[in-house]
Chains A and B, each alone.
Chain A
Amino acid sequence: MTNPDTPSPADNDKLRGLLTKLDDAIASLGESREFAKPAKLPRVIDTCRRVLMQPGGCAEIEQRAETLEQAGLFLGSDWASPHILIPSLTTQSLKSADSSLVVIEALSELRMLAVAKGRYRHHLISDEGAHHYLTQVMAINLPLLFSAPSEAERETQGRLAEIPRQLFQYLAERIGYEHVIDELISEIWRILQQRPIQVDPVKQMITQIALCQANPEIDLGASGQGADRLVSSLFGPTQGCREDPGIEVYRERLASMDARGLQYEASGFARAMHDTGLVSPYHTVLLRHLLDFGDNLLSEALGLSSTGRDCLLCYCDLVHTMVRTAIYPETAQAVYGLALTLERGILYQPPVAPALWRQLGLKLSDWSEARLHAAFGDGVSYRARLMEGVLCMLGLPLGVGQGNNPTCQSARALSMWAYNDPDYLLQMVAWAARDDEILMHFEGQPISSQESLSGVAQTLPLDLDPVSLLVVPHLDRIYAEMGRRCLGREGDPHRWVNPEFHGWWAGRGFRINVDVATGQLTDLDTFLRHFYASYHPYYNGNQPLIHPQPAGIAVTDSAGRFIGWHAITVLRASLDPSGQMRIYFFNPNNDSGQDWGMGVKVSTSSHGERFGEASLPFEQFASRLYIYHYDPLEHGELAQVDQQELDRVVAMIQESWGADRIPAGGLQADEGV
């Protein structure tokens, strides 16, 4: 048996010769001044291409990953920011006919590998982050791992097609072949447990697994067992569509089914949907069909409990109209959004039902339609697409994600409104979608999103759910404008912006443990005692948190190194099933399950989290907190927190993001020790 990894001596010579050339090229790139780098790049990239085509080439590049990046290989490109890279875009670049694009993408993947393996400490992405990214990349590009180049690839890429294959073989070997699929499956489950609104990336990965399973040439070995539920929930959750017959065939089958058969289908779909959070396009066909068969079957197909069923029966006209307007095979997730919206009972709030009627008849502005078109195409009407988004956001307030945009504040606000003030959210959607303008007030002064030109995001984001897509650009500009109006004030502007931006319930009291001028930690002891007094049920008279509160987190990577400030929502504090006090919070980042280092691992399931919630033990949460709000009228007294507990929290701060923020004189909290 020949091992493809052990190059023959002749290959070895060739590789060695190429490596000398490569090292020369990298050195010349590294030495040159920034403006001269572009001219040196082609030589580096092309030499890398030749190295990558040699057996053993990937390993050599992985070794040089750090040198390559330091020399300026990715400078000025998206690849320079590995933390924003989107796995699904890799397919396009790896299949490109442009060799530079293929090579850069491959180099970036090998760089990620070096980071994931702990060989290269990157200041922008953690090793877990890189590992996670690579798993997703491999998942999306599974065919590259398991099949020979297709005719189309050979035609457009020629010998270049070897590079992605060599690359994926190598990645799989380094990361562990058999784990790729299984890891991918558990990854998909982990994401689905957070019930995101945007499920397209997940669907893409499941589709890839299904394709691999269906391909007789691909031997998955023992892996991939856990994929059945995922694949079936999309492509054939019930008896009637088990073999994925196509929408038309299924529609005909429904026409000839009796009540019992329909009942069977309805419960099958409902189970699959509530199991995974994914909706099969067949499900929408059934739902539309059932409109003529009474609300009991409809309720069954939505998998409603008594609360949801009550709501459906009270508002059956509205529900029917929403199904007719918004539910199509292309907008399947609307079914899940609708089911959970009914389940939340928010239709009983007087303004919500009329606001939804307004939404159903809303005339979208040209700009809104153009935005929806750009992001989703025109498979269904824009109104249906937006309605799907609205239902999903109302049903899954904690499923909002910010995409790859620096707009965590806006995503958090949308989520908070959907959760706490749904008719206000619907008002925002109407303004943004119909009028292209949102008006908010800051300390009595009106701020129009039309007049505030620039937001935090430099470009208009496209990777968002339909509601965020239309509303976030407005919110982002308003948020930035509020910040501008605080210029020159002493202290952190969130003190004033957060309550004005999010809603009256955000406490006007404000605490921060970082001195804005110096960046040093300040007043930790009071900060923490006051936090315990406001939020910890043992210290606040066992008062559950009433309204979601904006808070600020110092995000750290898996090594506990500071990455950046991040906006989250504190949702509740309570005991988890094992009796530990935890803070449950919403993180607008698309995936809350993160490792913040030093044992602080954000959990998203199995610690009493509801869908979309993230949680940490109270102490650990406090150790990453840097901003919170409170009601200044309620608590004046600091909690008598056990000094040992406080010391533990302070130590966690000092070991992680606070390491280089300790003021010269030391911290007050230490004096008691």
Chain B
Amino acid sequence: MNKDPNKGYIALLGWSLNAIEAAENFDRRYVVVAPDWAEDYCKQHDIPYVSWNFERLNDRSLEIAETLRDMGVDVSIPLFEETVEWAGAINSVLLDNPRLYGQSLLLRDKALMKRRAQLGGIRVGIFEEAHDHQDVIRFLKRVNQTLLKLDGDPNDPIHLKAFDKAGCLGHRVIRTPDEVDTIPEEEFPVLMESHLDGWEFAVEAWIHDGKIAFLNISEYVTLGYSVFVPASPELERYREQIRVQIEKLIKAFDIDFGLIHPEYFVTSDGEMYFGEVAYRPPGFKVFELLERVYGFNAYQASMLVFDPKTTPEEVAEFFPREVVDANGFAGCFGVYPRRRVVSRLEIPESVEDHPYFESHELTAPLEETVTKRTAFGTHWGLVYFKGDDAHTLRDLLKAQEDEDYYI
């Protein structure tokens, strides 16, 4: 697409072909900042590219910021959790706003972000940092004491998450002290949270000029397995309350622009609990789902709200109306083999014949023996569905948990 020199020049931090394709087809100039293994590929396909290895921030970190500034880049966008603080550091130089770096650090550490949210008057569950197995056992006991459980009653579970990993990576559920021993030493330190019984959902909110430009609610059918957009009417009922929560979040974290991806619980009495927030595109291909139902490209949406040269009119024109403009519901399911030994991929007949079934990105198994699933995440691929009725879609997604894709 022809690039408009009057609009922003944007650096994409991290390697994502979908993001690059979106950038190609958008009117802003862009450059991909990615490790050196991407160089040949970019040359071959004429993709603007700057080589950078995103290790921990160090003395040389200013170098990439200056390189981009000298190129005339206006802003950088993090595509992955690991590049969030890089974007903060780089943008604090490009936009001459040192606060952005501190903000990005808050958004990178799950314990810090919870405290910050708490300070901002947002409800969070009970949480603590754990540095070893003993901490976990103590927390598990304390939480269950609080809940007035007697010895022998089944414990309420607690959740363990790595401080700085995306989504479900490293997420474990612990119910008994025995299970604590299964946590490898190297996973510490971790964040521990009490379990909240309720409806978990996520939000993708594009923020421009401190205001919400577009707010999507992604409904989880089962955490780590399935999600669909827009949410069912039952959850959409809470949209106004959710909007208020997001505004609080924007204020608490002092967010002026960008895409945020927070997770919440809503309990049966309608109370919202904040889980965590990420300053990057969500996993589980929610961007693709949004494009299927709304038709706008979510990467382009992010480029739009990050770009300091974007006008409010352009933003207003870009986004469709929330919910009403969606032409159906799109969801996906992360497949994990249920059998210990598998020989081939076969889409279940009930799925194959379902009119909602769109496509899948599963591949034939490389190994016959399935490694035991220890934590959430690392599914073998996604299956996509789309249809007109939220409840049919939700039930269909739920039913997938009992289907064998690998046999």
With A14-B353, A50-B352 known to touch, is A42 a contact of B360 (CB < 8 Å)? yes
* Chain B proximity of A366: nearest CB distance (Å): 34
B84-92, B151-159, B213-221, B339-347 - the one binding chain A: B339-347
* Chain B proximity of A47: nearest CB distance (Å): 6
- Chain B residue nearest in CB terms to A160: B346
Check if A42 sits within 8 Å of B359, measured CB to CB: yes
Check if B344 sits within 8 Å of A158, measured CB to CB: yes
Check if B364 sits within 8 Å of A98, measured CB to CB: yes
Check if A32 sits within 8 Å of B21, measured CB to CB: yes
* Chain B proximity of A46: nearest CB distance (Å): 5
Q: Tell me, yes or no, whether A405 is within 8 Å of chain B by CB.
A: no
**Which of B344, B352, B353, B358 contacts A97, CB < 8 Å?**
B344
Check if B364 sits within 8 Å of A35, measured CB to CB: no
Enumerate B351-396 residues with CB–CB distance to A below 8 Å. Answer: 352-353, 355, 358-361, 363-364
* Chain A proximity of B47: nearest CB distance (Å): 7
- Residues of B within 8 Å of A34, CB to CB, are 45
Check if A35 sits within 8 Å of B359, measured CB to CB: no
- Residues of B within 8 Å of A32, CB to CB, are 21
- Chain A residue nearest in CB terms to B346: A158
**Which of A14, A21, A158 contacts B358, CB < 8 Å?**
A21
Q: Tell me, yes or no, whether A159 is within 8 Å of chain B by CB.
A: yes
Check if B18 sits within 8 Å of A43, measured CB to CB: no
Distance A34 CA – B21 CA, assembled complex (angstroms): 10
Check if A36 sits within 8 Å of B359, measured CB to CB: no
With A21-B358, A159-B346 known to touch, is A35 a contact of B20 (CB < 8 Å)? yes
Check if A25 sits within 8 Å of B20, measured CB to CB: no
- Residues of B within 8 Å of A97, CB to CB, are 343-344, 364
Q: Tell me, yes or no, whether A81 is within 8 Å of chain B by CB.
A: no
Distance A47 CA – B358 CA, assembled complex (angstroms): 8
Q: Tell me, yes or no, whether A605 is within 8 Å of chain B by CB.
A: no
- Residues of B within 8 Å of A46, CB to CB, are 359-360
Q: Tell me, yes or no, whether A33 is within 8 Å of chain B by CB.
A: yes
Q: Tell me, yes or no, whether B17 is within 8 Å of chain A by CB.
A: yes
**Which of A21, A43, A99 contacts B364, CB < 8 Å?**
A99
**Which of A25, A33, A158 contacts B24, CB < 8 Å?**
A33
Distance A165 CA – B363 CA, assembled complex (angstroms): 23
Check if B17 sits within 8 Å of A36, measured CB to CB: yes
**Which of B21, B345, B352, B361 contacts A33, CB < 8 Å?**
B21
With A34-B45, A158-B346 known to touch, is A42 a contact of B364 (CB < 8 Å)? no
As a 0/1 sequence over residues 10 to 25 of chain B, the CB contacts with chain A under 8 angstroms (1 = contact) are 0000000110110010
* Chain A proximity of B28: nearest CB distance (Å): 16
With A42-B360, A158-B346 known to touch, is A35 a contact of B353 (CB < 8 Å)? no
Q: Tell me, yes or no, whether A156 is within 8 Å of chain B by CB.
A: yes
- Residues of B within 8 Å of A159, CB to CB, are 346, 349
**Which of B17, B18, B343, B359 contacts A25, CB < 8 Å?**
B359
Distance A21 CA – B359 CA, assembled complex (angstroms): 9
- Chain B residue nearest in CB terms to A21: B358
Check if B359 sits within 8 Å of A39, measured CB to CB: no
With A35-B45, A36-B21, A50-B352 known to touch, is A42 a contact of B346 (CB < 8 Å)? no
Distance A585 CA – B259 CA, assembled complex (angstroms): 71
Q: Tell me, yes or no, whether B41 is within 8 Å of chain A by CB.
A: yes
Q: Tell me, yes or no, whether A17 is within 8 Å of chain B by CB.
A: yes
- Residues of A within 8 Å of B360, CB to CB, are 42, 46
Check if B20 sits within 8 Å of A43, measured CB to CB: no
- Residues of A within 8 Å of B41, CB to CB, are 35
With A97-B343, A158-B344 known to touch, is A35 a contact of B47 (CB < 8 Å)? yes
- Chain B residue nearest in CB terms to A25: B359
Enumerate A11-65 residues with CB–CB distance to B below 8 Å. Answer: 14, 17, 21, 25, 32-36, 38-39, 42-43, 46-47, 50
- Residues of B within 8 Å of A157, CB to CB, are 344
- Residues of A within 8 Å of B364, CB to CB, are 97-100
Classify the interface of chain B: helix, strand, loop or mixed: mixed
Check if A17 sits within 8 Å of B17, measured CB to CB: no
- Chain A residue nearest in CB terms to B344: A97
- Residues of A within 8 Å of B359, CB to CB, are 21, 25, 42-43, 46-47
- Residues of A within 8 Å of B358, CB to CB, are 21, 43
Distance A25 CA – B357 CA, assembled complex (angstroms): 13
* Chain B proximity of A344: nearest CB distance (Å): 53
* Chain B proximity of A327: nearest CB distance (Å): 44
Enumerate A149-184 residues with CB–CB distance to B below 8 Å. Answer: 156-160
Enumerate B314-347 residues with CB–CB distance to A below 8 Å. Answer: 343-346
- Chain A residue nearest in CB terms to B358: A21
Distance A413 CA – B364 CA, assembled complex (angstroms): 46
Distance A14 CA – B352 CA, assembled complex (angstroms): 11
Distance A156 CA – B360 CA, assembled complex (angstroms): 20
Check if B344 sits within 8 Å of A33, measured CB to CB: no
* Chain B proximity of A449: nearest CB distance (Å): 31
Distance A160 CA – B344 CA, assembled complex (angstroms): 11
**Which of B20, B355, B407 contacts A36, CB < 8 Å?**
B20
- Chain A residue nearest in CB terms to B41: A35
- Chain A residue nearest in CB terms to B47: A35
- Residues of B within 8 Å of A156, CB to CB, are 343-344
- Residues of B within 8 Å of A17, CB to CB, are 355
- Residues of A within 8 Å of B345, CB to CB, are 99
Distance A25 CA – B360 CA, assembled complex (angstroms): 12
Check if A39 sits within 8 Å of B355, measured CB to CB: no
Distance A35 CA – B32 CA, assembled complex (angstroms): 14
* Chain A proximity of B211: nearest CB distance (Å): 32
- Residues of A within 8 Å of B17, CB to CB, are 35-36, 38-39
Distance A32 CA – B1 CA, assembled complex (angstroms): 12
Distance A14 CA – B18 CA, assembled complex (angstroms): 30
- Residues of B within 8 Å of A47, CB to CB, are 359
- Residues of A within 8 Å of B21, CB to CB, are 32-33, 35-36
- Residues of B within 8 Å of A25, CB to CB, are 359
Check if A33 sits within 8 Å of B45, measured CB to CB: yes
Distance A428 CA – B359 CA, assembled complex (angstroms): 56
Distance A46 CA – B364 CA, assembled complex (angstroms): 12
- Chain B residue nearest in CB terms to A35: B45
With A21-B358, A25-B359, A158-B344 known to touch, is A36 a contact of B353 (CB < 8 Å)? no
**Which of B18, B343, B407 contacts A39, CB < 8 Å?**
B18
* Chain B proximity of A99: nearest CB distance (Å): 7
Distance A159 CA – B47 CA, assembled complex (angstroms): 42
Distance A642 CA – B346 CA, assembled complex (angstroms): 70
As a 0/1 sequence over residues 478 to 500 of chain A, the CB contacts with chain B under 8 angstroms (1 = contact) are 00000000000000000000000
* Chain A proximity of B195: nearest CB distance (Å): 36
Distance A14 CA – B364 CA, assembled complex (angstroms): 26
- Chain B residue nearest in CB terms to A28: B291
- Residues of B within 8 Å of A35, CB to CB, are 17, 20-21, 41, 44-45, 47
- Residues of B within 8 Å of A99, CB to CB, are 345, 364
As a 0/1 sequence over residues 68 to 108 of chain A, the CB contacts with chain B under 8 angstroms (1 = contact) are 00000000000000000000000000000111100000000
Distance A98 CA – B362 CA, assembled complex (angstroms): 11
* Chain B proximity of A15: nearest CB distance (Å): 12
Distance A156 CA – B344 CA, assembled complex (angstroms): 7
* Chain B proximity of A589: nearest CB distance (Å): 33
* Chain B proximity of A158: nearest CB distance (Å): 5
- Chain A residue nearest in CB terms to B359: A43
- Chain A residue nearest in CB terms to B45: A35
* Chain B proximity of A441: nearest CB distance (Å): 40
Enumerate A505-550 residues with CB–CB distance to B below 8 Å. Answer: none
Enumerate B5-49 residues with CB–CB distance to A below 8 Å. Answer: 17-18, 20-21, 24, 41, 44-45, 47
Known: A42-B361, A158-B346, A159-B346. 7 other contacts (CB 8 A): A14-B353, A21-B359, A35-B44, A36-B20, A43-B358, A47-B359, A156-B344
| 26 pairs, CB–CB < 8 Å, chain A vs chain B | A17-B355, A25-B359, A32-B21, A33-B21, A33-B45, A34-B45, A35-B20, A35-B21, A35-B41, A36-B17, A36-B20, A36-B21, A36-B24, A38-B17, A42-B360, A42-B363, A43-B359, A47-B359, A97-B343, A97-B344, A97-B364, A100-B363, A156-B344, A158-B344, A158-B407, A159-B349
User: Across chains A and B, which 4 residue pairs bring their CB atoms closest together, nearest first?
Assistant: A36-B21, A35-B45, A43-B359, A98-B364
